Amino acid sequence: MNEAASLRLLGVTIAVAGKAVVHDIDIEFAKGELTVLLGANGSGKSTLLNGLFGHPDYALTSGEIVLDGEDITSLKTEEKARKGLFLSMQQLPEIPGVTLTNLLYRARIELFGKDTETPVEFHQRMVVLAEQFELKKELLLGEVNRGISGGERKQSELLQILALSPRYVFLDEIDAGMDIDMQRKLRHIIQHLLGRGVGIILISHHIGAVKDLAPHRVLVMESGHIVERGDLSLVHEIEKNGFSGISKNAYE
Partner 1 sequence: MDRPHEHNIGLVEDTVRQISSSKGEPEWMLELRLRAFALWQETEMPKWGPDLSGLDLANISYYSEPLHGASEDWGEVPDEIRDTFVALGIPKAEREYLGGVGAQFDSGAVYHRLKASLEAKGVIFEDMDVAVKKYPDIVRKHFMTSCVRIEEHKFSMLHAACWSGGTFIYVPNGVAVELPLQAYFRMNKMRSAQFEHTLIIVEEAARLTYIEGCSAPQYVAASLHAGCVEIFVGKSAEMRYISIENWSKNTYNLNTKKSIVAEDGNMMWVSGNMGAKVSMLYPSSILLGDRSHSESLSIVVGGDGQVQDVGAKAILLGADTSASIISRSIASGGSVVGYRGLVDVHGSARHALAHVVCDTLLLDGESRSYAFPVTRVCGSTSSVSHEARVGRVNDDALFYLKHLGFSEREAMRVLIGGFLHPIIKELPLEYAVEFNRLIDIEFLEGESRRSPHKALS
Q: Which residues bind partner 1 (CB under 8 A)?
A: 53-57, 76-78, 80-82, 86-87, 89, 91-98, 103-104, 106-107, 110-111, 143, 160, 164
CB atoms within 10 A of CB 183: 16
**φ/ψ (deg, to 5) at 87:** -115, 125
Report d(CA 185, CA 231) in Å as an integer: 23
Categorise residue 95: left if φ over 0, alpha if ψ from -120 to 50, beta otherwise. beta
The nearer residue to partner 1, 92 or 232, going by C-beta atoms, is 92
Report d(CA 142, CA 11) in Å as an integer: 41
Q: Which of 1, 43, 37 is nearest to 229 (CA)?
A: 37
The nearer residue to partner 1, 98 or 129, going by C-beta atoms, is 98
The angle subtended at Cα 139 by Cα 122 and Cα 36, nearest 5°, is 90
CB of 86 to partner 1, least distance (A): 7
CB of 22 to partner 1, least distance (A): 18
Report d(CA 200, CA 198) in Å as an integer: 6
CB of 220 to partner 1, least distance (A): 26
CB of 241 to partner 1, least distance (A): 36
CB of 51 to partner 1, least distance (A): 12
The CA–CA distances, whole Å, from 52 to 28, 214, 223 equal 14, 25, 17
CB of 5 to partner 1, least distance (A): 22
The nearer residue to partner 1, 162 or 238, going by C-beta atoms, is 162
The nearer residue to partner 1, 27 or 98, going by C-beta atoms, is 98
The nearer residue to partner 1, 16 or 95, going by C-beta atoms, is 95
CB of 174 to partner 1, least distance (A): 15
The nearer residue to partner 1, 40 or 92, going by C-beta atoms, is 92
The nearer residue to partner 1, 81 or 200, going by C-beta atoms, is 81
